[in-house]
A and B are shown apart, each in its own frame.
Chain A
Amino acid sequence: MAAALGSIAEIERELGAQRVDPESGQPMQRTSVMTHLAWVPEQWVEAAEDVLSGLAERHPSRTIVLVPDPDAEDALEASVEVDCYPVGEHRKVSMETIRLKLCGKRVQAPASVVEPLLLPDLPVFLRWRGLPPFGEQPFEQLVDTVDRLIVDSTEWPGLPAPYGRLADIFDRVAVSDIAWARTSRWRAQLASLWPGIAGVRRIKVLGTEAQAHLLAGWLRSRLGRKIELEHEAADRLTGVELDGEPTPFPPGDPPDPADLLSDELERFTRDRVYEDAVSATRM
């Protein structure tokens, strides 16, 4: 196994070397539409790699996976991978993944590591696994570096309190929430019940805690009044009742995690409806 790379210069050099097609000796064409950062604490590495492997081919990007290890000795340990995909009849394009382990104090200054590696002029997305440490250096630095933050509030304990901290950063960065994206089929279904749904007083959600709070917050913010929430825990969103009446199951299949993240990577503007829903989760 190759030794870990310990500096930005070494990373750049290795990327340059790997971009040469071993068959032809010619540099491969690089195509990127974004820089995709992923903050992945050790416990999320496996799940994150699964999603990223489905994503690279659909969103040609430079992917930078940041794995924090605050207890290790101060160091930067990096590896790079250049993957090649066929395009059309005669061409191949390359995409890059940089895996960076931030050890010791380096965890506190991720922006200084990431900034030199961002692709110029392209949007930067940050996928943060788990509950972000709102107010702490690594998170705050990266939020100010990127154009869009993607979280999955299903991964967060203690809901709905963290939504309050999330709402505080809406003016600094556009936010996507995979938990919110998972409710889209149900929101469309509930919207189809208009105008009957206008007078609803109580919603019961069979799903994750995040989905329950977000659906209730959405109805409250859209209808402009208090709506009571009852939550029955389930791994997936399997049912919604309005004032005790079950609503019909929405058509189609639920999208897989890579599809959900992929859809969020195509959004570039603030999602005001989501922001309103988040703000109304604690009403």
Chain B
Amino acid sequence: MAVAEQQENPLLEGLRLRRTPDPCALVIFGASGDLTKRKLFPALYSLALRHLLPERFGIIGVARTEESDDDFREAMKAAVQEFGRDAFQQETWDWLAERTRYVATDFADEGGQQRLVGALNELDEKQGTSGNRVYYLAVPPSAIATLIHEIGKHRSTDGWTRLIVEKPFGRDLASAQELNAELQQSFEEREVFRIDHYLGKETVQNLLALRFANGIFEPIWNRQFVDHVQITVAESIGIEGRAAFYEQAGAIRDIFQNHLLQLVALTAMEPPIDFTAESVRNEKVKVLRAMHTPGPKHVVRGQYGQGFIEGEEVPGYRDEPGVARDSMTETFVAAKLFVDNWRWADTPFYVRAGKRLARRETTIAIEFKRAPHPPFEESAEGELQPNVLVVHIQPDEGVSLEFAAKVPGQGLTLRTVHMDFLYGGAFRTGIPEAYERLILDCLLGDTTLFTRSDEVEEQWSLVDAIVAFWKRDRPAFPNYEAGTWGPAAADELMRRDGRSWRRH
């Protein structure tokens, strides 16, 4: 037996064992908020349904609203039934509900902190969560610094502690640096999980698979073959009652600083040496550092006015409840960016993000240079289109390639055709929600899909430079109708370079 103890277990070979997280307690600050209802509890339920949560697990919802454990459980059950992607199963819910508690407190108050510590100790005792803690800060940006400070002060001395911080992380470079400094006083970088839910999307991760697992793309993924890149993050919805947040943030802090720049980084990054968190994030940071500040001529901002979405009349931004009548908050931003390195020098990345655009769509389009000497020009009807590789992030997740084909019949008439790969068509197992993946990764301690402190600071540097230009002028808002593709100046941004946004 003593010999066996020193040997590796030969029975484990070939077993496809899933890594399960350590026992732990998850504390959600902002438990009465929309994010908890729409995303976090449905994600936790889906993880429970697939037996991906540890058996010794507990959840504590924390918010100011006074309510009992039972009231909170009922509200979360209704949320899972309304927003969950899986059919509701009472047995799974009972498992989760049995492990769920609620603490009503304003965390700044010492009594509230003690109640939370008491509830956590009780979970350790009853559910065996071993002092391991994940704190999910689903709270407004203004509350984050206080929470980080208080959690740091009361952090458990047994087990590990991890912190998930929702975006936006700060509102400019200085505030992001302050938050990072506050975090670094009590936590190590590997304990901090700055969430950008776009990185949890399967299709965003598939971009890495497409680039680095296929030999055909990488050799042409550079300035020699790529004419330019277009990245669009378009929403058809308005601000959905979030005026207080959006008035402060605008499109540049809501989407551009995080989702959009992450997509640029993933598109432009060099192949990492492996897929560990540090390797992937090192490569992304290099791209962000290599992006130079575009001049004011290369950035367009817009704000939607009244218009029509799917045939229905919708109000302009300034007529949304809670928005100032003279608001100068941008709901659209477009920019021409450059990544100054050997791979991408002089290759423009045109990016745009906005609300109340013609349709909901997130795409990355790599437009290749035209064929050097097409012998068909005289017989082709219209201009021969360049090849475009489009990564569809949402909806209709997948990849398509546009290329020219001969129209059947006499002569040599060409037409652009699409070759489509539909992600959901090839893999029919159901795509997990981004929050499922990210919560599970955090429970497992894997930071690969989370943003590192230096990444966030690089993103804010670029945003600060853009916002600095905006202080000098006062555009005539609104400057685009709801239901269109943004202001005319965004088209002009491309037209100046002899290009145009892709037709959708």
A interface residue numbers (CB < 8 A to B): 29, 31, 33, 57-60, 85, 87-91, 93, 184, 187-188, 190-191, 194-199, 218-219, 222-224, 251-252, 271-274
Tell which of A31, A198, A251 touches B422, judged by Cβ atoms closer than 8 Å: A31
Does B426 make an interface contact (CB < 8 A)? yes
Tell me the complex Cα distance, A207–B448, Å: 43
A191 cross-chain contacts in B, Cβ below 8 A: 9, 11-12, 15
> Are B425 and A60 neighbours in the complex by a CB distance under 8 Å?
yes
Does B191 make an interface contact (CB < 8 A)? no
CB A196 to nearest CB in B, in angstroms, measures: 8
Tell me the complex Cα distance, A251–B55, Å: 10
Given contacts A58-B429, A198-B7, could you give 18 more A-B pairs where the C-beta distance is less than 8 Å? A29-B422, A33-B427, A57-B428, A58-B428, A60-B425, A87-B396, A87-B424, A87-B425, A88-B398, A88-B424, A91-B396, A187-B11, A188-B17, A191-B12, A194-B9, A195-B5, A223-B10, A251-B55
- Given that A29-B422, A93-B422, A195-B7 are known contacts, is A88 also in contact with B396, CB under 8 Å in the complex? yes
Residue of A nearest to B11 (CB): A191
Tell which of B13, B16, B426, B427 touches A222, judged by Cβ atoms closer than 8 Å: B13
Does B227 make an interface contact (CB < 8 A)? no
Does B1 make an interface contact (CB < 8 A)? yes
Tell which of B14, B397, B426 touches A60, judged by Cβ atoms closer than 8 Å: B426
Tell me the complex Cα distance, A31–B398, Å: 12
Tell which of B15, B51, B425, B426 touches A184, judged by Cβ atoms closer than 8 Å: B15
CB B215 to nearest CB in A, in angstroms, measures: 15
- Given that A31-B425, A60-B428, A195-B1 are known contacts, is A88 also in contact with B9, CB under 8 Å in the complex? no
Does B87 make an interface contact (CB < 8 A)? no
A251 cross-chain contacts in B, Cβ below 8 A: 51, 55
B15 cross-chain contacts in A, Cβ below 8 A: 184, 187-188, 191
11 contacts between A and B (CB under 8 A): A29-B420, A33-B427, A60-B425, A87-B396, A88-B396, A187-B11, A191-B11, A191-B12, A194-B9, A198-B1, A198-B7
Tell which of B1, B4, B425 touches A29, judged by Cβ atoms closer than 8 Å: B425
- Given that A89-B395, A90-B396, A195-B4 are known contacts, is A271 also in contact with B14, CB under 8 Å in the complex? yes
> Are B429 and A87 neighbours in the complex by a CB distance under 8 Å?
no
Tell me the complex Cα distance, A192–B350, Å: 54
A188 cross-chain contacts in B, Cβ below 8 A: 15, 17
A29 cross-chain contacts in B, Cβ below 8 A: 420, 422, 425
Closest 5 CB pairs of A and B: A273-B14, A198-B4, A31-B425, A191-B11, A88-B396
> Are B9 and A195 neighbours in the complex by a CB distance under 8 Å?
yes
Tell me the complex Cα distance, A96–B14, Å: 33
- Given that A89-B395, A272-B14 are known contacts, is A33 also in contact with B1, CB under 8 Å in the complex? no
Residue of A nearest to B18 (CB): A188
Tell me the complex Cα distance, A31–B427, Å: 10
> Are A199 and B4 neighbours in the complex by a CB distance under 8 Å?
yes
Residue of B nearest to A185 (CB): B15
A195 cross-chain contacts in B, Cβ below 8 A: 1, 4-5, 7, 9
Residue of A nearest to B396 (CB): A88
CB B337 to nearest CB in A, in angstroms, measures: 29
A85 cross-chain contacts in B, Cβ below 8 A: 425, 428
- Given that A184-B15, A199-B1, A199-B4 are known contacts, is A91 also in contact with B425, CB under 8 Å in the complex? yes
